[in-house]
Amino acid sequence: MVKVGVVGYGTIGQRLADGVAFQGDMELVGVADIGPTLPVRALKEKGMPYDFYLAVPENREKLEEAGIPISGTLEELIQKVDIILDATNAGVGAKNKVLYEKYGKKAIFQGGEKTSVADVFFHGYANYEKGIGKQFLKLTSCNTTGLIRSVDCLDRVVGIDSVMIHIVRRVADPGDYHRGLTNALKIDPVPNHQAVDLMLIMPHVKATGVLVHTPVTHGHIITVFAKPKKKITREEVLESFRAHPRIRVVRIADGFLGNASLFKYARDLGNPRGDMYEIAIWEETVTIFEDHIIYALNIPQEAVVIPETIDGIRAAMEMQTDRLEAVGLTNKYLKIGG
Binding positions are 33
Smallest CA-to-CA distance from 276 within 245, 302, 308 is with: 302
Catalytic residue chosen out of the listed positions 142, 158, 168, 221: 142
- The binding site for NAD(+) comprises 33
Cα gap 157→151, rounded to integer Å: 10
3-state SS, residue 155:
helix
Pairing of strands 206-214, 106-109: unpaired
Of residues 104, 105, 156, the one with CA closest to residue 128: 156
Q: Which of 12, 6, 46 is nearest to 28 (CA)?
A: 6
Examine the residue annotation and report whether 153 is marked as an active-site residue of this protein.
no
User: Which runs of E-coded beta strand occur in the chain?
Assistant: 2-7, 26-33, 52-54, 72-73, 83-86, 106-109, 120-122, 136-139, 160-170, 186-187, 206-214, 220-228, 247-250, 279-282, 287-289, 292-299
Residues 297, 284: contact at Cβ < 8 Å? Answer: no
What is the rounded CA–CA span in Å between residue 276 and residue 236? 25
* Region of 135 on the Ramachandran plot (φ > 0 left; ψ -120 to 50 alpha; else beta): alpha
- Residues marked active site are found at 142
